[in-house]
Each structure stands twice: as structure tokens, then as C-alpha cells.
């Protein structure tokens, strides 16, 4: 899995004049992103939620922690 920080370094490198709104915090941002598919994660049919870099990183950390907890729980069972 590619760390979110690396994704942001390569994501939308061209500068944009228009600003987009983060669906999570409501702030304007030059860049927004979302994870659609990852190992054990599929949000293709879900309502798209676009996140600014800060919210994207926070959500990625939460998702990784949740995945670790689930793996630990499965190993203990």
C-alpha cells in the first residue's frame, strides 16, 4: 500500500485556479482526493466524498488503524 503522503506528492501536480470544497471540513482547497479501492476497501458505489490533504491524511490514518484492529481481532480469534 502506498502511504497517503506519497499520493499527495504525486496527485494533481498542475496548479489550479479554481478552488474546490472539502466534503469533510468544508474548507476550500486547491486539491481534493478520495480513496475508491484498496485491499479490503471498495467504495465504488458509495457517495463520493472529496477531502482536502489534511482530511484525506486523517481519514487514511483512521482507516489504517481500523484495519490493524480488525487484523489483531482476527488473529486473536
Number of compact structural domains in the chain: 1
> Do 12 and 20 form a contact (C-beta atoms < 8 A)?
no
- Given this model, what pLDDT does residue 8 score? 53
Average pLDDT for 42-65 = 90
Burial code (b: 16+ CB inside 10 Å, e: under 16) for 24-39 equals: beeeebebbbeeeeee
Average pLDDT for 51-61 = 94
Q: 60 is in which domain, residue-wise?
A: 4-76
For the entire predicted model, the pTM comes to 0.66
Amino acid at each position: 500500500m502506498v502511504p497517503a503522503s506519497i499520493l499527495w506528492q504525486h496527485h494533481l501536480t498542475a496548479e489550479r485556479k479554481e478552488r474546490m470544497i472539502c466534503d469533510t471540513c468544508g474548507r476550500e482547497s486547491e486539491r481534493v482526493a478520495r480513496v475508491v479501492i484498496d485491499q479490503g476497501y471498495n467504495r465504488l458505489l458509495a457517495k463520493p466524498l472529496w477531502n482536502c490533504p489534511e482530511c484525506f491524511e486523517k481519514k487514511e490514518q483512521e482507516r489504517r488503524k481500523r484495519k490493524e484492529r480488525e487484523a489483531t481481532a482476527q488473529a486473536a480469534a
